[in-house]
Amino acid sequence: MKLFVTGATGFIGSHFVNHAHEAGHELVCLRRSPESKPRIELQKQPQWIDAQLDEVPQEALDECEAVIHLAAHSANVPYDTLENCLRWNVLAPLALFRTAIAAGIDRFIVAGSCFEYGRAGERYEFIPTNAPLEPTQSYPASKAAASIVFSQLAIEENLRLSIHRIFQVYGEGETETRFWPSMRRAALEGEDFEMSIGSQVRDFIHVSEVVNALVRAVERTDVLAGQPLIENIASGQARSLRDFAEACWQGWNAKGKLLVGAKPPRRNDIQRFAAEVPTVSAANR
């Protein structure tokens, strides 16, 4: 299948390119400029299109059968302003989707965020996909808005749309300032690592599992025209940040110390985020 992919140079996007090529798909990938480098080494180069999301020419989408939207603006703290997040996470991709529809594409796979659930997540032991969206910061708010807007577009245009809310993903190529790569660097260099008390409960999932689910989503048969599908991509297991950190630290045979409680908790941090996932994945139907 020929796929048009946004965010292909990003953390999840770079892994997706490799996995999609392994699965036999042909890829046309969007990047801002030739200077945009993938987070991990690509085993095979896709066809690159250099443009902003809302400036993609229709001919770039010719013969593509689906859009895989993985691009995200300001996905890491500190988040950009609400105005900029809304522009690049809602309005710009909406313009791209309109161009794709004009090119004859009716299949869209979108990477969402677990933090769209916001405060509502704390009311569930495991968050279902029909939980209210109560984000607390600009980036999650823009992703929640995107879920609503893209779903409405799918209803109006009779599109096959699936939105996949990704939980606490980690792995090679992740932004170096984030928790897992920062901790891994300290462990491998024999340094101590400072962290909060780590009471936050998260659903940790390796990036390879995330992209496997996204690649499978391309050929799912249970996504119906005009009926948007929302899915959590997660392990379904709840673990405290501290438990996760201690397991990683031990697995790396780290020589330094894990300094639990050395840092204050993050402002507005949600305390529990664990996902409800199907016992039998719909992707395997």
User: Is residue 219 domain-resident?
Assistant: yes
* CB burial readout 44-63, b (16+ within 10 A) else e: eebebbeeebeebeeebbee
17 Cβ neighbours under 8 A, 6+ residues apart: 5, 8, 27, 29, 38, 42, 44, 46
pLDDT of 285 higher than 50: no
How many alpha carbons fall within 13 Å on the CB side of residue 103? 23
Q: 285 lies in a domain?
A: no
Answer yes or no: is 131 within a domain: yes
Q: Classify residue 184: in a domain, yes or no.
A: no
Note the pLDDT tens digit of each residue in 16-63. Answer: 999 999 999 999 999 999 999 999 999 999 999 999 999 999 999 999
- 218: domain CATH number is 3.40.50.720
The span from the CA of 266 to the CA of 137, in Å, is 13
8 Å CB contact between 112 and 143: yes
Residue 128: asked if its preceding bond is cis (omega within 30°), the reply is: no
In the predicted model, is pLDDT for residue 280 greater than 50? no
Domains identified in the chain, total number: 1
Determine the structural domain holding residue 66 and report its residue range: 2-170+204-235
Q: Is residue 121 part of a domain?
A: yes
CA distance 48 to 122: 41
Task: Give the confidence band of 283 by pLDDT, cuts at 50, 70, 90.
Answer: very low
255 domain residue, yes or no:
no
Q: Round to whole Å and give the CA distance between 278 and 239.
A: 19
Q: What is the pLDDT of residues 219-263, one digit of tens each?
A: 899 999 999 999 999 999 999 999 999 999 999 999 999 999 999
pLDDT more than 70, % of the chain: 97
User: Do 234 and 205 contact (CB within 8 A), yes or no?
Assistant: yes
Among 68, 66, 62, CA closest to 10: 68
Confidence at 279, pLDDT banded by 50, 70, 90? low
* Domain annotation covers residue 126: yes
